[in-house]
């Protein structure tokens, strides 16, 4: 890690980390407080809804108890209905009188409870005594409830309150959707069954909207244990809950009443509650973020000012391979350790440059002389072989072949003695190879084939002069055994990662493992000089080409060999792309 980054990391850690810790702590505490407040609000809504529901049930339950306990000096409801347990124990006048008494009692209840539609008592003898109020409702003539489900379930309750579903009752004239409360009546002393009290009420009997402190955002529902809904305020919150079935902001809370078995469900949209607290949360995060950004900016400029001189010197030293060692002209006048470092660095660079200039000036002269000596050896060797070929062919061939050989040889001689530059285009080097192959095809009667696998995009790249022809000659004389066997010579050129790879492959005899190892060891030996312009005696061939490439381009470039006996040999040349 860079020194600048280390300082920056240290400063940021020292300054920003405490802010992050404090922000997390404050945000967490505030979030806990918000959660407690929202839970308190939601629980309050549910508790209020449950209490309101209980209050409505208690009101109806109180009405039923009035009929059980009501009596004065001249009239008692339970005593009055005892005579209706069996037919024949009462007259029409008795029935009229009982209904009239019930009318008086019911009117008081109906006036004080506007959700009551009517109150009726069904006796075991099949008579009904009661009074209907809202919408002129009444019980159908000759209606007997003994086989109806609501009647049987009421009897099963043994005197406890039974609540019907929210529905339209078929046995009530002019009825609308309503909820009925029924209870079996028994003699207080003998426990004899006297009849069933039915109080029919409008759906407003369970209206608990007054307990909802979040109207429009809290969906309240009262339902029976079988799932039938008795009350819901869905119309007033429909817009708030549209497309929010799977919304994580919807909190659903259930509370079950034991007797009677009812379930109060509150589905509350928490978003309005959270929105009231979100501003403070954003304020906390905004302040913390602003402080952190300010400290990060301060840390950046502080670390940069401390490390800029060292980073500048480091960049100069890192780039010396591209531009050479250069002196630094900044921070020389600083009266601290940085100033001393820069001045001492400049002194070192000046001394080093002077040393390099003196030492490598002579080295370059030596290398140039050696390269010219090697090139002269290659040219003379080839010229000798070519003249020998011309002499042999001239004795047996006619003028046409001699003309071709002479023309190709002239081109090759002109190419070899051209000393304008040590570097030539790949295209020119291949043309020289082609001239050479023209001569050899005449000499060996076209017993070999040469194949070029070269993309036109590489033809203009520069390479060292006179390195391909000797390798092709080597392929003909050694690989194809002076063309005594038919075969191919393949020249391919590829460029990858700014490196030129030239392969010269023959399909000839190849080398055994011992021969290949000797050639590879020869190529791996360092270049030795006994005196200026001279080398230890070695054959002019692969080693000579390899030496020229290493002298010009440096260590790491040159030739490598792959071969397999009776399958052929490949000479691989590795050169850099010169800009």
Q: Does the residue 567 lie in any domain?
A: yes
Helices (H), 398-510: 399-417, 426-443, 469-474
Task: Indicate the residue among 191, 206, 221 that finishes a domain.
Answer: 206
Query: Residue 530 — pLDDT band, cuts 50, 70, 90?
Result: very low
Domain that holds residue 101: 70-206
Q: Which candidate, 84, 91, 92, 94, places its Cα nearest to that of 125?
A: 84
Residue 211 forms part of a structural domain: no
Please indicate, yes or no, if residue 334 is contained in any of the structural domains.
no
Which tops the pLDDT comparison, 212 or 180?
Answer: 180
**What is the value of pTM for the model shown?**
0.47
CATH number at residue 85: 3.30.450.20
Could you give the percent of the chain with pLDDT greater than 70? Answer: 83
In a domain, 246, yes or no: no
Residues written for the chain: 579
Burial of 532 (0-12, 13-18, 19+ CB in 10 A): exposed
The DSSP string of 393-422 is: HHHHS-HHHHHHHHHHHHHHHHHHH--S-S
Number of folded domains in the chain?
A: 2
Instruction: Among 167, 186, 206, identify where a domain stops.
Output: 206
| H-helix or E-strand spanning residue 276 | helix 271-318
Residue 466: both structure tokens together: 């006179």
CB-CB contact of 67 with 197 (8 Å): yes
End-to-end CA distance of the chain: 33
Cβ neighbours, 10 Å, residue 514: 8
Q: Which two tokens stand for residue 203?
A: 């759906």
Question: What is the CATH classification number for the domain harbouring 515?
Answer: 3.30.565.10
pLDDT digits (tens, 9 = 90+) for 374-397: 555 555 556 656 655 665 665 566
Please indicate whether residue 465 or residue 243 has the higher confidence score (pLDDT).
465
Nearest CA to 3 out of 297, 311, 337 is that of: 311
241 occurs within a structural domain: no
Confidence label for 438 from pLDDT (cuts 50, 70 and 90) = confident
Answer whether residue 324 is part of any domain: no
Residue 136 belongs to some domain of the structure = yes
Above pLDDT 90, what percent of the chain?
A: 17
pLDDT digits (tens, 9 = 90+) for 16-61: 888 888 888 888 888 888 888 778 888 888 888 888 888 888 888 8
Helix (H/G/I), strand (E/B), else coil: 46 = helix
Least confident of 140-144, 175-179, 365-369, 478-482: 365-369
Domain termination residue (choose one: 180, 206, 232): 206
Q: Is residue 196 part of a domain?
A: yes
Question: What are the residue ranges of helices labelled H in 113-255?
Answer: 149-156, 234-237
466 pLDDT more than 70:
yes
Range with lowest mean pLDDT among 176-180, 246-250, 517-521, 541-545: 246-250
């Amino acid at each position: 890690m860079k020194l600048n980054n280390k300082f920056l990391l240290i400063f940021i850690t020292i300054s920003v980390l405490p802010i992050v810790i404090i922000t997390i702590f404050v945000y967490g505490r505030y979030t806990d407080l918000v959660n407690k407040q929202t839970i308190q609000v939601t629980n309050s809504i549910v508790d209020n809804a449950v209490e309101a529901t209980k209050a409505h049930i208690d009101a109806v339950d109180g009405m039923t108890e009035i009929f059980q306990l009501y009596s004065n000096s001249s009239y008692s409801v339970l005593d009055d209905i005892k005579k209706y347990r069996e037919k024949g124990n009462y007259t029409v006048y008795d029935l009229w009188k009982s209904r009239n008494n019930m009318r008086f009692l019911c009117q008081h209840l109906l006036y004080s409870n506007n959700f009551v539609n009517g109150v009726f008592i069904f006796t075991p003898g099949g008579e009904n005594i009661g009074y209907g109020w809202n919408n002129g409702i009444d019980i159908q003539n000759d209606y007997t409830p003994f086989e109806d489900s609501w009647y049987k379930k009421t009897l099963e309750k043994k005197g406890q309150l039974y609540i019907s579903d929210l529905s339209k009752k078929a046995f009530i004239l002019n009825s609308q959707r309503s909820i009925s409360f029924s209870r079996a009546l028994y003699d207080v002393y003998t426990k004899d069954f006297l009849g069933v009290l039915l109080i029919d009420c409008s759906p407003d009997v369970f209206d608990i909207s007054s307990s909802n402190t979040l109207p429009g955002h809290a969906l309240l529902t009262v339902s029976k244990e079988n799932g039938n809904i008795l009350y819901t305020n869905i119309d007033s919150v429909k817009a708030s809950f549209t497309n929010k079935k799977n919304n994580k902001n919807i909190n659903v809370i259930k509370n079950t009443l034991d007797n009677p078995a009812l379930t109060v469900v509150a589905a509350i949209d928490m978003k309005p509650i959270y929105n009231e607290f979100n501003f403070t949360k954003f304020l906390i995060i905004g302040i913390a973020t602003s402080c952190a950004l300010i400290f990060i900016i301060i840390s950046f400029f502080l670390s940069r000012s401390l490390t800029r001189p060292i980073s500048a010197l480091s960049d100069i030293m890192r780039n010396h391979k591209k531009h050479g060692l250069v002196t630094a002209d900044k921070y020389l006048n600083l009266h601290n350790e940085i100033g001393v470092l820069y001045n001492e660095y400049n002194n070192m660079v000046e001394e080093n440059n002077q040393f390099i200039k003196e030492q490598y000036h002579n080295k370059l002269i030596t290398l140039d002389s050696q390269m010219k000596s090697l090139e002269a050896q290659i040219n003379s060797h080839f010229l000798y072989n070519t003249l020998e070929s011309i002499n042999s062919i001239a004795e047996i061939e006619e003028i046409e072949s001699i003309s071709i050989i002479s023309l190709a040889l002239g081109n090759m001689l002109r190419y070899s003695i051209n000393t304008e530059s040590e570097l030539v285009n790949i295209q020119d080097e291949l043309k020289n190879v082609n001239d050479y192959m023209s001569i050899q095809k005449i000499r060996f009667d076209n017993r070999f084939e040469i194949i070029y696998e070269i993309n036109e995009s590489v033809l203009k790249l520069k390479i060292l002069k006179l390195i391909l022809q000797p390798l092709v000659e080597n392929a003909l004389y050694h690989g194809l055994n002076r063309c005594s066997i038919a075969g191919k010579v393949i020249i391919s050129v590829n460029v990858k990662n700014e490196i030129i790879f030239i392969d010269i492959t023959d399909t000839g005899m190849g080398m055994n493992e011992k021969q290949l190892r000797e050639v590879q060891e020869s190529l791996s030996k360092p270049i030795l000089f006994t005196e200026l312009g001279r080398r230890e005696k070695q054959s002019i061939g692969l080693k000579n080409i390899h030496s020229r490439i290493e002298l010009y381009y440096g260590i790491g470039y040159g030739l490598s060999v792959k071969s397999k006996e009776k399958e052929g040999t490949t000479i691989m040349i590795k050169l850099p792309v010169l800009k």
